Structure 1
């Protein structure tokens, strides 16, 4: 039996953001052809931004990775792939990773100036297929020893579904995107993506292994992964799904969520509070490292795609239609409209005080946070 899963909002969002800038290119071309260097790259769709030292690193459509220095000059890095990149994270001033469509992972060890490919869907598909085959074999053997165990029978049904899904993915080629990345240090990292993909590395991305144990029989997309200050891991995804692991992903518990809205972003504030933002103005808050959550009311109901904690305890949320939300303490939020109404996927604050916005319209630079003083 072949299972087909419809395109869901998290993946549709990324396709909507790039719009006409993405062409239907053969998979091998996208994975093997370097990103085109363009003087207009900062005006094309950008999906994520992260401060790295005095600079800012941005990723986006067509393999574009841009660096903006403290004086405001923007430089495009050389990247070995020509496809949409969805998220970026640096653990220090040198080591960073970006993930994107077709299961691609690229790595930089020079602060984002140059990148090399570590993994793509060609390598991920056999990893997922073998993991699914091993899981089915293990459960079949366990069911022989306990044929009347309903939990084992249900687990085997889910494992067969996962195997069927992995076989279909292998037949389709390297087409499934990665949507989130988080590294604890220069060696330990996790990536998550479409149809429940989650992989871990212990050697800086040289090798990767799939992780099992998330209660996700419908293979819902996993959109974001984050490590917390207590050492635990959080994963957020479609349908309000939240998962927590206290042992680096070896085991996972499903966290009770007060929403069924898809969650797109995770962040932890300096005071330890954890935020999860998503569809339709959803903002969830946890004060116990992600074990329990409550919904926080916002003045707008637009979808939220990015969370930027500020060093002074404040936070900026970015979302649909150019919406920005600012709070000085994570409690009270005030809405503000960015120039234009293009979707904003994330923000960053430069050390010079400029607020950088990335999204469907590329990079926008505001001289300061225009609503910060008023909100306080």
Structure 2
């Protein structure tokens, strides 16, 4: 899509002697799809007006000065005409300048000439100043319009500028992409600020809480068969036993297990399923390996071994009966809530923020930045550490 741009051009000149010339220049600029602007009609005695003139020049892309046979009203403070002050300001700010000088001002008559010798001298000095740059000379209205039209074409090539465009055309694909990126950055910074504020206003000091490699106590209910039932060939779904068990994983193990599900967002229902899966894994380690140990199998190095005094499903049977197989494990709601509250208090999780249909009544959780970083430290796979023979033997 072609974006239509229009350059704004400041037109400067004396006023009363160049009314027709100014109108011709403005008409030419309009025909060239430029936006003319001029402030020389403001009263010369009002010094505040020149501040406004400077601001308008700053907003313009190009500066045009038309010089005829008059120097113009002189500002007593700087002893310069407002036209020359405008020119000096435009040049000083690096604005591209187009100057159009009458080719033979001596032929002008009447109100188009300064009769005062001092003003005529100032005009000549001003003309010489402008002639140090590229200027165009004109003799009549037709000539002036042609010179202006040609100068606009040339300066657009030599000094391309930003110009003005319609607001409806300003939203280019590049601008849209930049806005999307900026909005994403704002959301990211807002989330960081929210996390920082939450940590500052935490109800408890995280250093006072159990965490990391310290032990958690997670209660769960089990569905299983006794080994004796399996041995007699009477293990049916209808006669499975039920009991309670408490697993004791570390808080880091729980985060390792649940964390990947929370990297995006996860519902409480699914998190309970995942924590129940951890209960099944840990209770199987505790009870089945414990039973093998009781039978004389050396599994003492296996993780999750528990003391024989730990209370569990085998407490419901005779002392010589053992758990043979665990089919299902379900975390208790109290233990699930304990895990949820503990991770929230540690600043590892927070409520989900994704928009969902109104019919979705589930509660969602996600990792905070702190939780995300902690999970990466726990689960990222590291390269193996190479040990030289000398290091392994303790040598030099």
Give the TM-score, by structure 1 length.
Answer: 0.19
Larger Rg: 2
Give the TM-score, by structure 2 length.
Answer: 0.18
Higher strand share: 1
Could you say which structure has the greater relative contact order, defined with CA pairs below 8 angstroms and 6 or more residues apart?
2
